[in-house]
Amino acid sequence: MQKLDVRLKQIPMPELPVEKRLQTFDEVALGYSEEQALAEAARCLQCTHPLCVEMCPLRIDVPGFIKLVRQGNYVEAAQKIRQENCMPAVCGRVCPQERLCVLGCKNVIGDPINIGGLERFVADYELETGVTIPDIAPSTGRSVAIVGSGPAGLSAAAELAKRGHHVVVFEALHEPGGVLTYGIPEFRLPKKVVKQEIDYVRRLGVEIKTNIVIGRTLTIDDLFDEGFKAVFIGSGAGLPKLLGIPGENLCGVYTLNEFLLRVNLMRAHLFPRGSKTPIRVRGRVAILGARGMDAARAALRLGAEEVCIFYQRKLVGRVDDIRRGIEEGVKLQPSTKPVKLLGDENRWVKLVELVKLKPGQPDKTGKTKLIPVLGSEFLYSAETVVIATDHVPNTVAAIKTARNVKVDEKRRTIIVDPETLMAADGVFAGGDVVSGAASVIEAIKAGKRAAQSIHAYLMKH
Amino acid sequence: MENEIVYKEELAPEIKLMKVRAPLIARKAKSGQFVILRVSEDGERIPLTLIDWDPKNGTITLVFREVGATTKELGKLNVGDVIHDLVGPLGKPGEITLYGRVCVIGGGIAIAAAYERAKKLKEIGNNVVAIIGARTAEQLIFRDELKGLVDKLYVTTDDGSEGIKGYPSDVLKGLLESGEKFNLVYAVGPEALMKAVSEVTKPYKIKTIVSLNSLMVDGTGMCGCCRVTVGGKTMFTCVDGPEFDGHLVDFEELMARLRMYEEEEKLAIKVMEGCGCRS
Ligand SMILES: Cc1cc2nc3c(=O)[nH]c(=O)nc-3n(C[C@H](O)[C@H](O)[C@H](O)COP(=O)(O)OP(=O)(O)OC[C@H]3O[C@@H](n4cnc5c(N)ncnc54)[C@H](O)[C@@H]3O)c2cc1C
Ligand code: FES
């Protein structure tokens, strides 16, 4: 047994040294070694009423899998997670554990357990050694179409395939994975891992068809005509919101999605030899909005001299990733808001005008709004600007062509029955397209829940 | 096989026409829509206008000029080769209604798109005047097809090697000045041409539709790369367009944005040609 003082401190996750990070897009967090994983697992108190499980949206048996780690049964540990979550190697890396399972960890005398680190360790171990495919129910003869191959679509697909349904996923882009593929950068989530997890879903019998835009190439009605008995819409929240300020369309101004699409999906960082898609990052880079940490870190790796995120209240992201970004040199300017962008004679962005913000009078509900400080305008010179405020469900998405599907006009989200996630007869929806921009784990949960109601629906029809 | 090139023709030096097997796209395509394609694994996604489609045989027709690294790569493919990725039809279909008398203008490679539109407008009974222009006579693609189709065809070349020396917008101007009336002017081609056409028709208050070729990545409204200011509002060419009211488009902004990667494009071509290899 380890000594108590050893057990107080979390085993730190090995990371790429800061000075090496900016020269590559390689993953920063390196993952536990077997020895480190065993040591971290040994710290778990194995509570009888584990709050970590309750805090997990998928109710994964955390103490259960950690116990298996201690016994050296890594594959079994991974399988235990995989029963509930079709992409543990992804979630181990990108879940905001500090707000979920880890927040529930009752290791009161020391640091909480690094549950994500352990999840990643066993999931990677299993991917390395080869994932065993679980038993698949005999074919039901029913087909389900899934719109979008993000975590919501893939988890619905995996669940339905296990229950013996024939599942086809339609993806608009040329590669599956949704935000996992086009949004989250390589240095946080290697594409190899995403591919391996998607490969698992394929091996369950799921067919993935890329380059098909539902609503354009095929409509939802076409899908029913082709014999699909139910449709799940997991088309995400891919429509970037602009700021509505002057100068937004100057050259050198990107939306977060365009910036990340170019880097992650199109691998623009390898331009011109390894990729034919360019990206322009020069000099100073201004990131406008709280969702900008991934773009900021990518910009530094693309050779930016300085990168500063201007945002209002709180950055969106996992604590570890925000810390790593700051270590890498990302500068932060909270309580600021862009006013306009100014360009040169060739319409390239040159300056961002911003204003400082302060809390205003609380409203009836006690909430305070940030209001501009009079006369506090200032300029930041930038050659590249990324708008990273918000994104909402996409308008070309299937929803327009779907029979009787209702959309919340303001939030642009699909309205569903909260229990069954049914949007119209035979049409179900979940993930960001229903919740608005949320998280991978919530999308997986929605996919699973929808799969259950689709299964029930199919058995009746 | 899907995405397979089933026919290839050189219409003029550096201008190629390809028919590609794409049954789903062929079934849904409408006038004015486009596809996005990627030639290879590390390729860029580029939009190309649908010039023709045949739902029965499941093929679509694309016409392109070999200008950038991607179109040069595409031009090297032959019948039997497969385009790595092909998605569509994208964009809003154009409005094909009975206007009465219309003028269809096409410049350069976009004469192909103008021909397609002229055909559709003619089919439903419009009286169609077409004005096409290219740098030199040999670049005047679809000239004969148009001649056999429209009620009147005007041809211009920059160098005067055929037809009128000058631009299609000059011809339009002349026609309007001499009292010709049009209920619609449709222009497709280089931005400078569409801009000039829009300026010519503006004083006459003639409805003028232009088809924009913004830079694109996804083509489905995800990224905003294709954004353009129309009537003071930001629009996404790939989902709100590609056709817009020419009198409202901010062409200066569009042209600046199209030049955004000029240096990179040159570099990409250099790298591609430098190694001399095909793939
Ligand atoms: C930059 C960034 C970083 C993030 N980081 C994290 C993180 O660290 N941790 C975390 O938990 N969450 C993170 N999120 C949020 C998380 O990625 C999303 O909440 C989650 O991916 C939503 O899953 P989804 O399946 O609903 O949609 P998406 O992942 O968006 O997938 C939707 C898919 O549907 C496709 N599609 C859309 N319309 C159509 C159509 N008409 N036809 C066919 N296909 C279509 C899209 O191309 C896309 O592939 C991040 C998001 C972003 C943008
Ligand atoms: S090309 Fe991405 S939004 Fe139009």
pLDDT tens per residue, chain A (461 residues)? Answer: 445 455 788 999 999 999 999 999 999 999 999 999 999 999 999 998 999 999 999 999 999 999 999 999 999 999 999 999 999 999 999 999 999 999 999 877 789 999 999 999 999 999 999 998 999 999 999 999 999 999 999 999 999 999 999 999 999 999 999 999 999 999 999 999 999 999 999 999 999 999 999 999 999 999 999 999 999 999 999 889 999 999 999 999 999 999 999 999 999 999 998 999 999 998 999 999 999 999 999 999 999 999 999 999 999 999 999 999 999 999 999 999 999 999 999 999 999 999 999 999 888 888 889 999 999 999 999 999 999 998 888 765 555 666 788 888 888 899 999 999 999 899 999 999 999 999 999 999 999 999 999 999 999 88
Distance from the first to the final alpha carbon of chain A: 57
- Is B102 strand, coil or helix? strand
Please name the residue ranges forming H helices in A131-249: 151-162, 179-182, 191-203, 220-225
Q: CATH code for A2-129?
A: 1.10.1060.10
Q: A–B: how many Cβ contacts below 8 A?
A: 119
A2-129 against A253-387: fold identical:
no
Q: Cβ of B218 and A173 within 8 Å? A: yes
Domain boundaries, chain A: 2-129, 143-238+392-460, 253-387
Domain B101-211 is found in CATH 3.40.1350.10: no
Encode pLDDT of A152-204 as tens digits. 999 999 999 999 999 999 999 999 999 999 999 999 999 999 999 999 999 99
Q: What are phi and psi of B42, to 5 degrees?
A: -105, 20
Q: What is the architecture of the domain spanning B5-90?
A: Beta Barrel (2.40)
User: Side chain identity at B251, as an amino acid letter?
Assistant: F
Buried b vs exposed e over B243-254: b needs ≥16 C-beta within 10 Å? bbebbebbbebb
State the pairing for strand pair B233-236/B227-230. Answer: antiparallel
Neighbours of A405 (CB within 10 A): 19
Could you tell me which of B7, B71, B2, B87 has the C-alpha nearest to residue B39?
Answer: B71
Specify burial of residue A274 (Cβ count, 10 A radius: 0-12, 13-18, 19+).
Answer: exposed
Q: What is the DSSP letter of A262?
A: I
CA of A404 to the centre of ligand 2 (A): 27
Q: Residue A211 is nearest to which of B69, B87, B222, comparing CB atoms?
A: B87
CA–CA separation, B25 and B30 (whole Å): 10
Q: Residue A261 is nearest to which of B217, B228, B268, comparing CB atoms?
A: B217
CA–CA separation, A403 and B167 (whole Å): 48
CA–CA separation, B150 and B129 (whole Å): 6
Q: Cβ of B261 and A278 within 8 Å? A: yes
Q: Which atom in ligand 1 lies closest to the alpha carbon of residue A397?
A: 41
Kindly state the tokens that stand for B115. Answer: 């021909």
Between positions 143 and 182 of A, the ones with CB within 8 A of B are: 172-174
Q: Cβ of B271 and A273 within 8 Å? A: yes
Which pLDDT belongs to residue A58? 94
Q: What are phi and psi of A429, to 5 degrees?
A: -150, 155
Q: What is the DSSP letter of A140?
A: -
- Within an 8 Å CB–CB cutoff, is residue A242 touching chain B? yes
Encode pLDDT of B237-259 as tens digits. 999 999 999 999 999 999 999 99
- CA angle at residue B130 from B125 to B132, to 5 degrees? 155
Domain boundaries, chain B: 5-90, 101-211
What number of CA atoms fall less than 13 Å from residue A409's CA on the CB side? Answer: 0
Encode pLDDT of A51-87 as tens digits. 999 999 999 999 999 999 999 999 999 999 999 999 9
Residues B245, B233 contacting (CB under 8 angstroms): no
CA-nearest residue of chain B to A253?
B225
Buried b vs exposed e over A438-455: b needs ≥16 C-beta within 10 Å? ebbbbbbbbbbbbbebbb
Encode pLDDT of A326-368 as tens digits. 999 999 999 999 999 999 999 999 999 999 999 998 888 888 8
H/E segment holding residue A267: none
CA–CA separation, B268 and B38 (whole Å): 15
CA-nearest residue of chain A to B233?
A244
CA of B227 to the centre of ligand 2 (A): 7
Contact partners, residue A200, CB within 8 Å, separation at least 6: A86, A87, A131, A133, A158
Domain A143-238+392-460 falls in which CATH fold?
FAD/NAD(P)-binding domain (3.50.50)
Distance from the first to the final alpha carbon of chain B: 21
Domain A253-387 falls in which CATH fold?
FAD/NAD(P)-binding domain (3.50.50)
Q: Which atom in ligand 2 lies closest to the alpha carbon of residue B236?
A: 4
Q: Residue B217 is nearest to which of A172, A216, A258, comparing CB atoms?
A: A258
Could you tell me which of B165, B171, B164, B156 has the C-alpha nearest to residue B111?
Answer: B156
Q: Which residue has the higher pLDDT, A412 or B101?
A: B101
